[in-house]
A and B are shown apart, each in its own frame.
Chain A
Amino acid sequence: MPTADETSKIPGSRGPEIVATPAPFGSCPLPISEHQRIVLGHGSGGKLTADLIEKVFLPAFRNPTLDKLDDQAVLKIGDLRLAFTTDSFVVTPIFFPGGDIGRLAIHGTVNDLAMSGARPLVLSAAFILEEGLAMDDLRRVVESMRAAAAEAGVQLVTGDTKVVNRGKGDQIFITTTGIGIIENDVNISADQARPGDKIILSGTVGDHGMTIMSQREGLEFEGAIESDCASLNELVVTMLSTSTSTQRRDFIHTMRDPTRGGVATTLNELATRANVGMIIDQRSIPIRESVKGACEVLGLDPLYVANEGKLLALVVPEMAEAVLDRMRQHPLGCNAAVIGEVVDTHPGMVLMKTEIGGTRVLDVMFGEQLPRIC
């Protein structure tokens, strides 16, 4: 999800701090810049975020569960398999068409659990509130969390509240943590993807990110854009209930909700994790006209824009049509489409056939998506 809009104050005119890495050849007066401080791009979900995880967090906490780098940890406790995840939510504006920070905070964590095939059970919520936040706004957020939790069938069972000085936060930050149960015949993980798997996308791309972006920029587009934020656990249950000849539910290999960094970044993560290649057909990717238009106007690529109520599923080829049929009967999957397949060539890489018949590599986003000048 998009990072908070920054409201930076100027503490003084300190110069930037840059690491000068010696160039291996030539004498290059321009240093290779490695950020010595956090920049917004570190929160974009792209390469900078991955770098941060790899260089700062993984070395400190490394263990087999964490190393899987799924959106949730799967813990075995006796015969029980638990999915466990946490997510923080910062967004400006806190209320937007189609949702608000409270809904996001419930849906985001529920979805991270659901992507392992888990049935979400309980959530915790921690609030960081900025001094001066309107009590009515807080009530609205909390009410919307209650409604979202009820829809998703989860209970909020513990929580925490902190208040920071005015200017030290951006109205409200929420962290939610969740626990869910995974049935024994379900085994969904990023490293399960196999060549031949069909790649199913549950609906249109870019709705959430473009909603936030157009709100921030004060842009209005013909045909309103609304955030797609929704809990996907019911859709997942529907998908897993697709009837099979074997009565087993191992036909979904991988699921991921393409939030920050969008569909392109998520596909790349999956391709890398499973060491497989992917081929996507641009023409098959569902997108709303209004979102497409907004992206054209702002110079952004919808495949890198955040979604908050969509999932990508890698499904064994013989079950893909049946799963797709089930998905389309669910309101959150009515625009679902097969957008490509997993291949055994070019591992770790995602290729896309473009709408005019060319081919390009779909790479991960490196930082913030920046509007181009012309």
Chain B
Amino acid sequence: MKYLDEYRDGEIAARIVDKMRRTLTRPWVLMEVCGGQTHSIVKNGIDYLLPAGVELVHGPGCPVCVTPLEMIDKAHAIARLPNVIFCSFGDMLRVPGSEGDLFTIKSLGGDVRVVYSPLECLKIARANPKKQVVFFAIGFETTAPANAMLAWRAREESLNNLSLLVSQVLVPPALEAILEAPGNRVQGFLGPGHVCAVMGYREYDPISARYHVPIVITGFEPLDILQGTLMTVRQLESGRATVENQYSRILDREGNRAAQQLISTVFEVCDRKWRGIGTIPLSGYHLRGEFSRHDAEKLFDVAGIAPREPEICISGQILRGLKKPHDCPAFGTLCTPQRPLGATMVSAEGACAAYYTYGRHLSPHGSDPMHPVIRETEIIHANR
């Protein structure tokens, strides 16, 4: 298929890996920031192809995963109300709150709908004037323009039965939080391709300079990821630390100006809680005052909802790259995509879910968890 197969060519992949092998003089730890990249890595078995000296740890860039428990609980409280149509991106439906998930609420009669585009909510709101239509506006800078557009259009059309429950987060403050964390192992980043398609990558320069860390903005196809990894390794091996753009077929340094303008018209930067990590200052967006009529947090009585997160779940450490899914005693046993305990198991983009989905719960402890060496004697739960 055009524009896809070119980036999934096994021979080119082998050549890039070979170059990487010849470049390596010592081991390096890199982090892919995006959930979409994590997904691609495990789905395509890219980690299996990498030379032993290159370790990829999975970053915080799964939007569903980092949405804090209290926002999930607020969403559930609203979705349970009889007069509400609650709209959400698909993979949010499985995210557990303190009591069940949106699937459970749906099975009890709640009107929960999956939308592909936030703008679908406009149609739903127009068609259901007597209902309150609430959209769960989550995600990184990638979803911010479309989510902002929904709020903007709702205000333009005076659709007073349409509101957004906003839990919007930003990548750069999260990278700084990772680099500041005690015990940080990350030496280079595969930067977030889709996020930078919106925002450009200017704002990564100061991070790269301050922490002397290479950041290579990288795409999502297998060859993108391999090339981004090679570019990062080359910087590390030569002692350089700059921002480079592997994903140049999609984005440039400035990003999408129109989208940025829309975002700043609708949202303003605020402190945000991250599931498993805690509050990171100035790490998200909320709706500006002019849009308060469409702010679900102001329309519904949810301010008092402030649950505690499960203690056993180490998703915070996984999101910061300190631990791998295998390091969690609950991984694959107590915590599965069927019964997720925490952030990183809930979405297909979450590191734990990606590991689980592509069978890494079956690979033995002790071996390099990135390389699925499968020994018969160690397979306990094989697909049962």
Contacts and interface: CB of A to CB of B under 8 A. Distances in A.
B45 A358 contact: yes
Interface string B101-125: 1011111111100101000000000
A26 B4 contact: no
Q: For the complex, would chain B's binding face be called helix, strand, loop or mixed by DSSP majority?
A: loop
Contacts of B312: 23, 25-26, 28
A358 B48 contact: yes
Contact of B94 (A345, A356, A367): A367
B345 to A, nearest CB: 11
B13 interface: yes
Contacts of B98: 29-30
B348 A370 contact: yes
A29 B97 CA distance: 11
B44 A355 contact: yes
A6 B109 CA distance: 10
A373 B139 contact: yes
B49 A14 contact: no
A88 interface: no
B1 interface: yes
Interface stretch (B84-92, B152-160, B205-213): B84-92
A371 B1 contact: no
B383 interface: yes
A354 B9 CA distance: 10
Nearest to A51: B338
A370 B64 CA distance: 12
Interface stretch (A32-40, A76-84, A188-196, A255-263): A32-40
Interface string A2-29: 0000101111111111100001111111
B100 A18 contact: yes
B143 A374 contact: yes
Interface stretch (A129-137, A234-242, A289-297, A319-327): A289-297
Nearest to B89: A373
Contacts of B44: 354-356, 358, 360
Nearest to B48: A358
A356 B222 contact: yes
A253 interface: no
A99 B222 CA distance: 36
B107 A361 contact: no
A27 B341 CA distance: 12
Contacts of A62: none
Question: Which of B312, B329, B347 has the most CB atoms of chain A within a 10 A radius of its CB?
Answer: B312
Nearest to B85: A10
Given A35-B104, A292-B1, A370 B90 contact: yes
Interface of A: 6, 8-18, 23-35, 37-41, 47-48, 217, 268, 271-272, 289, 292-293, 296, 298-299, 301, 345-351, 353-364, 366-367, 370-374
The 3 A-B residue pairs whose C-beta atoms are closest, nearest first, are A361-B359, A358-B45, A16-B100
10 contacts: A8-B110, A13-B81, A30-B341, A33-B101, A268-B383, A348-B379, A356-B46, A358-B222, A359-B45, A373-B349
Given A16-B108, A350-B383, 19 more contacts: A8-B106, A8-B109, A8-B110, A8-B111, A9-B109, A27-B311, A30-B98, A30-B342, A32-B334, A32-B339, A40-B106, A293-B1, A349-B383, A360-B42, A360-B48, A360-B372, A361-B374, A363-B357, A374-B140
